Chains A and B, each alone.
Chain A
Amino acid sequence: MEELMIQVENVAKRYRLGMIGRTTLREEIQRKKAKRRNQEDPTVKIGRETDYSYGDTFLALDGVSFEVKKGEALGIIGHNGAGKSTLLKLINRITAPTEGVIRLNGRVASMLEVGTGFHPELTGRENIYLNGAILGMTKKEIESKMEQIIEFSECRKFIDTPVKRYSSGMYVKLGFSVAAHLDSEIMIMDEVLAVGDVAFQNKCISKMKEVAKSGKTILYVSHNMATIRNLCNRCIVLSAGKKIFDGEVEEAIEHYVTRDFSLNSETILDSLKRPYRTTALTHMKRITYLGGENGVFEMGDILRFQLDWSAKRAFDRMKLRLGIFTVSQIAVGVSFTEDFSVQEGENSEIFSLDISHLLPGKYCLELLMIELDDNESQVKHDVLHKDAVIFEIVASEEKKLFRAVNRDWGHYVLPETKCE
């Protein structure tokens, strides 16, 4: 049987709004809350108005339970304000839970922020000792790893210079090097870990991989799905303080990215939040897929859809810009419609886009209503969030080859190569 290293049992963390008397924290929590509710401007003091009054409580974590076995690398994903940082803070003993128990079976070392506790007046070497000790190493442990740390940091030449003379790049490199050589059974890592120039970032990632493979238990928080895939063998998804998924990494990422959106043949766009300000002269109301089944298309299909919108005035040269993204927000391609005219009031039009070369998978459709001005630059009249509209492509019987899509293939299959 495998050994349990972390057991989180029904953990909740409650913050009391406004009761602390310090505006900064209050604002921070309100900002968190704002983000959670998809508010556009997080600094707007929503608490002032109607939603939350003085003394209201806010659950940053709400009954979260999970277990981590020895050697597992668990990814924690979720949107801003979902409770990831709070969870790590609890496991890391920076603050105490309001309810529930966390049991740990090993020393916890956090690699949350590199270079925390560096003292500018001390030399690189002195700071390695200090930083290592802050992170929980004993002097002996640090001494035994000193050479490796200096080597990894690429700062050997300056190791006996006060760190205040370091460039910011050297500073973070040294910080990461100390954190990477921690020797605890449980390691908490954060996405900001990969630091420095590209070469050093790659070095960081492979070092983290190495740590993950060495049988240590890893908790990893990130918004970067590529590194999650790279490092983790299990994933939990947090949303609004609750655990909404626990399991296989790919599934978790899909779950995270598509959260509340289920595949539908019709999506109401009218009430959706717009990501940024536009002229708002047009307003998209509804998109209906024609063909396909509840938003699922077969590979080789044409994406036909009907779009309904309203306009405040008539336009002669309206265009629709369609951006295709993967669910992990990687851009696949873009397409523009021909010019079409728009009348004042309600409009409806049917469009078709050739998506026959897209590989199977779930995709997001970004919709923008634009007009080209005299300089051919885009005037945006209405814009939707990238992940507002989604569709899925599945491989049909005659395209069995594409059933098991290899991630390395990309998302687009080029036209067939001919024999000459």
Chain B
Amino acid sequence: MDNKSVEPSRWLMEIRPTDKRMNLNFKEIWRYKDLILLFVKRDFKARYKQTLLGPAWAVIQPLLTTVVFSIIFGSLAKLTTADVEGSTLKMPAFLFFMTGTIFWAYFSGTVSATSSTFIENVRIMSKVYYPRMVTPISTAFSNLISYFIQLALFVVLLVIFVVIGIAEVSLTWFSLMIPALIVQMMMLSTGVGILISAFTTKYRDLRMLVTFGLQLWEYLSPIPYGLSMIPERLMWLYMLNPITPIITAMRYAFFGTGYFNLVYYLISLAVTIVIFIFGMIMFNRIERTFADTV
């Protein structure tokens, strides 16, 4: 470094009182990419340490849920597992439920973990500075690993089912949507999570509501039943739930049959983006002073 005196404009960083301005520093988050990576590793490793089955739990949990769903909602309650009526393709209820449960495992896991970002990490965050967004970002990615393991299992099962003739799929170009849908799933769950986290620093009440709210939300989404349960005249209302178009589109992408409405999907995409950006703004506003309020 040179020994010249530094002009005020050449300061690397200025810390000013909180203002309403957005100052998301993506460059800084990028500088901490190693930390994100390490957090992801830590989350994933620590989750299955001292368990006999290890990462197999990532597979067992959704499998069990799917079995329960298949028995209760499928065999006992006999809820429909079709998104549109009169599909000619065979589709076992088990695979139908599995798409929903693994999606939900990701969504609820990410929302509940990111929504307590500040509260859970207050000890470290009130000692050391690092961009606070690093934590929810790494949660989103570490859960994604579990999701991919589950997705891989799903694909294997799908292939087996097709080969032995229990299931039929018709692959279409729409299958290429899957990565985009996964990205949207990440954005929506992170957005909802950080939005809640911004409010829970002051009002812990929200935290109590998260568990209950997530459960309610699950039943308001076509996860334990098919979309064809919903009467056509209420469809517009039902579709305002941004999750619905993502799940139905995902099933459409996997099975080649189902429900896809571009307008509803675009609304869902718009809602996702709005929630994500709004969540970032709120998170950014809170992160600078949360240490005083938590």
Q: Which residues of B contact A107 (CB under 8 A)?
A: 12
C-alpha spacing A357/B45, complex, angstroms: 66
Q: Is A344 an interface residue (CB 8 A)?
A: no
For residue A247, give the distance in angstroms from its CB to the closest CB of chain B. Answer: 21
**A133 and B11 contacting across the interface, CB-CB below 8 Å:** no
Q: Which residues of A contact B37 (CB under 8 A)?
A: 139
C-alpha spacing A119/B121, complex, angstroms: 12
Minimum CB distance partner of B50 in chain A? A121
Q: Is B261 an interface residue (CB 8 A)?
A: no
Known: A96-B18, A105-B11, A110-B129. A139 touches B123 (CB 8 A): no
**A108 and B292 contacting across the interface, CB-CB below 8 Å:** no
Q: Which residues of A contact B124 (CB under 8 A)?
A: 116-117, 134
Known: A112-B127, A116-B128, A139-B34. A122 touches B3 (CB 8 A): no
C-alpha spacing A155/B15, complex, angstroms: 38
* Most chain A C-beta atoms within 10 Å of own C-beta, residue among B4, B15, B124: B15
For residue A55, give the distance in angstroms from its CB to the closest CB of chain B. Answer: 15
**B3 and A1 contacting across the interface, CB-CB below 8 Å:** yes
C-alpha spacing A9/B182, complex, angstroms: 47
Q: Is B14 an interface residue (CB 8 A)?
A: yes
Q: Is A379 an interface residue (CB 8 A)?
A: no
Minimum CB distance partner of A94 in chain B? B291
For residue A409, give the distance in angstroms from its CB to the closest CB of chain B. Answer: 39
Pick the contact of A130 from B3, B31, B38 — CB < 8 Å? B38
**B17 and A93 contacting across the interface, CB-CB below 8 Å:** no
C-alpha spacing A135/B42, complex, angstroms: 16
**A7 and B17 contacting across the interface, CB-CB below 8 Å:** no
Q: Which residues of B contact A2 (CB under 8 A)?
A: 3, 5
Known: A94-B125, A110-B127, A139-B34. A3 touches B15 (CB 8 A): no
Which residues of B, 252-294, contact A by the 8 Å Cβ criterion? 288-294
Interface size, A (range): 35 or more
Q: Mark B19-49, 1 if CB is under 8 A from A, else 0.
A: 0000000000001101101110110011001
Q: Is A102 an interface residue (CB 8 A)?
A: yes
Interface segment, A42-50, A84-92, A297-305, A381-389? A84-92
C-alpha spacing A134/B145, complex, angstroms: 22
C-alpha spacing A108/B14, complex, angstroms: 12
Known: A3-B1, A134-B124. A92 touches B13 (CB 8 A): no
Minimum CB distance partner of B35 in chain A? A133
For residue A216, give the distance in angstroms from its CB to the closest CB of chain B. Answer: 11
Q: Which residues of A contact B42 (CB under 8 A)?
A: 119, 122, 126, 130
Q: Which residues of B contact A103 (CB under 8 A)?
A: 8, 11, 13-15
Q: How many residue pairs at the A-B interface have CB separations less than 8 Å?
A: 127
Pick the contact of A104 from B13, B125, B294 — CB < 8 Å? B13
C-alpha spacing A126/B41, complex, angstroms: 10
Which residues of A, 4-61, contact B by the 8 Å Cβ criterion? 4, 7, 15, 20-22, 25
Q: Is A97 an interface residue (CB 8 A)?
A: yes
C-alpha spacing A312/B46, complex, angstroms: 67
Q: Which residues of A contact B174 (CB under 8 A)?
A: none
Q: Is A169 an interface residue (CB 8 A)?
A: no
C-alpha spacing A2/B2, complex, angstroms: 10
* Most chain A C-beta atoms within 10 Å of own C-beta, residue among B1, B4, B12, B18: B12
For residue A82, give the distance in angstroms from its CB to the closest CB of chain B. Answer: 18
Q: Is A136 an interface residue (CB 8 A)?
A: yes
Known: A97-B16, A102-B15. A129 touches B128 (CB 8 A): no
**A96 and B128 contacting across the interface, CB-CB below 8 Å:** no
Q: Is B126 an interface residue (CB 8 A)?
A: yes
C-alpha spacing A30/B92, complex, angstroms: 64
Q: Is A345 an interface residue (CB 8 A)?
A: no
Which residues of B, 63-107, contact A by the 8 Å Cβ criterion? none
**A95 and B289 contacting across the interface, CB-CB below 8 Å:** yes
For residue A135, give the distance in angstroms from its CB to the closest CB of chain B. Answer: 6
C-alpha spacing A253/B130, complex, angstroms: 33
Q: Which residues of B contact A138 (CB under 8 A)?
A: 31, 34
C-alpha spacing A99/B2, complex, angstroms: 32
Minimum CB distance partner of B5 in chain A? A1
Q: Is B6 an interface residue (CB 8 A)?
A: yes
Known: A20-B293, A22-B293. A97 touches B38 (CB 8 A): no
**Can you list 15 A-B contacts (CB < 8 A)?**
A20-B293, A22-B294, A89-B291, A95-B288, A97-B15, A97-B16, A101-B14, A102-B14, A104-B12, A107-B12, A113-B127, A116-B123, A116-B128, A130-B42, A133-B35
Nearest 6 A-B pairs (CB), nearest first? A133-B35, A1-B5, A102-B15, A139-B34, A103-B11, A96-B288
A residues apposed to B, CB below 8 Å: 1-4, 7, 15, 20-22, 25, 70, 89-108, 110, 112-113, 116-117, 119, 121-122, 126, 129-130, 133-139, 162
